[in-house]
Amino acid sequence: MSIETPTVASGAVHRSLKRTGPHWPSLIFQGLLAFSLLFTLLALLFLLVDVLNRGLPVFTARGMDFLTSPLSSDPTKAGVSQALWGTFWIGVITAVVAFPLGVATAIYLEEYAAGSRLTRIVDVNIRNLAGVPSIVYGLLGLAVFVGVFKALDIGNGRNVIAGGMTVAVLVLPIVIITAAEALRAVPIAIREAGYGVGASRWQVTRQLVLPAAFPGILTGIVLSLSRALGEAAPLILAGAVLGSYSSGGADLVGQLVGPYTALPIVVYRWTTLPQEEFRQLAAAGMIVLLVITFIANGLAIYLRNKYSRSW
């Protein structure tokens, strides 16, 4: 009994397996993707080099003096100490107002009211709010927060609390969306297991879902914070001082209800001044802002890796 082996002309298999030539569409597509990446990287790199190039000489010439000096019309003396305090307080107020409110809202939407018609409508609207231009939030801050402080006769109402609240409302949708997504990513099996042993909704949320969603929520919070610290437009409307001013940084009350400014505002202000020296100061201010943002983002990555779980 013999099984007939199909005879193939010598080398035919080899030839049929061999590549016939370059596959142009994939090559072109790959090239386009690589070009996009290169373009993005180059743009960022150019920005960074430009800023460092102009700003670093300020630090080499004046050192820490730039960080500790107040605003001044003399470019050799002007510094960002008031702006640093303003940015610090805006960060603190955002953290105190936006994060608890945002995370609590997300928990309610995802864990308590999930799937209802109202939840879906609210969800869509929050997503839209996240896309509203920040200047619009500035108008809100001017009308509501500055208005309230003015009505209460606290200074002229243009204080860092009003500014911080404005920015807090601005980042609230981002906090809610990222926290809701982190909660949604927690497997339903974890919740069922909790309910299955007689845990209440609060116990399941507090002890199982929140710890599991924590890294994701944290990432969203820190990214929102970076965004909050970099905003200029809404603060201009919400009463941040554009020119230079004395005072500020004196005592806690003075800082909170007196005139204020913030890093992005000062950077913006300096770039509009005619003297070249102020452009350099603006670049130095950007470096400070970038360093703060990098630290915040680095912290986010560190904490996320530290607490992240897998299942």
Partner 1 sequence: MADLPPTTDEPIIRLEDVSLFYGSFRAVRNVSYPFRTNAITALIGPSGCGKSTLLRSINRMNDLVPGAHAEGRLLYHGEDLYGAGVDAVEVRRRIGMVFQKPNPFPKSIFDNVAFGPRVNGVKGDMADIVEASLRRASLWDDVKDKLKQSGMALSGGQQQRLCIARAIATEPEIILMDEPCSALDPRSTLLIEELMLELKQRYTIIIVTHNMQQAARASDETVFLTMGDDRAGYMVEAGVTSELFTNPKSQLTEDYVSGRFG
Compute the least distance from the CB of residue 122 to partner 1, in Å. Answer: 16
- Looking at the chain, the number of H-run helices and the number of E-run strands are 15, 0
Binding residues among 151-190 for partner 1 as defined by CB under 8 A: 187, 189-190
Chain centre to alpha carbon of residue 187: 27
Give one word for 159, left, alpha or beta, with left for phi > 0 and alpha for psi -120 to 50. Answer: beta
**Closest to partner 1 by CB, 77 or 120:** 120
Rounded least distance, CB 128 to partner 1, Å: 24
The minimum distance between CB 199 and partner 1, in angstroms, equals: 4
Closest contact distance (angstroms) between CB of 60 and partner 1 is 50
Stretch that binds partner 1, among 28-36, 197-205, 238-246, 295-303 (CB under 8 A): 197-205
Binding to partner 1, residues 70-129 (CB under 8 A): 114-116
Size of the site for partner 1 (CB under 8 A): 24
CB nearer to partner 1: give 40 or 116: 116
Residue among 122 and 190 whose Cβ is closer to partner 1: 190
- Residues 54 and 109: their CA atoms lie apart, in Å, by 47
Alpha carbon distance 40, 36 (integer Å)? 6
**Amino acid letter for position 131:** G
Q: Considering the complex, what minimum distance in angstroms separates the CB of residue 301 from partner 1?
A: 21
Q: For residues 263 and 285, is the Cβ–Cβ distance under 8 A? A: yes
Could you say whether residue 196 binds partner 1 (CB under 8 A)? yes
Sequence-distant (≥ 6) Cβ neighbours of residue 214 within 8 angstroms: 182, 307
Specify the residue, 174 or 204, whose C-beta has the smaller distance to partner 1.
204
Judged by beta carbon, residue 111 or residue 231, the one nearer partner 1 is 111
Cα-trace Rg, the chain: 27
Tell me how far the alpha carbon of residue 202 is from its chain's centroid.
30
User: Least distance (Å) from partner 1 to the CB of residue 177?
Assistant: 22
Smallest separation (angstroms) from partner 1 to the CB of 235: 41
Is residue 305 involved in binding partner 1 (CB under 8 A)? no
What CA–CA distance (Å, rounded) separates 266 from 82?
A: 9
**DSSP structure string for 222-291:** HHHHHHHHH--HHHHHTT---S--S--SSSHHHHHHS----HHHHHHHHHHSS-HHHHHHHHHHHHHHHH
Q: Report the site for partner 1 in 199-218 (rule: CB under 8 A).
A: 199-200, 203, 207-208, 211-212
Q: What angle, rounded to 10 degrees, do the helices at 210-230 and 81-107 form?
A: 150
Binding site for partner 1 (CB under 8 A): 114-116, 187, 189-200, 203, 207-208, 211-212, 309-311
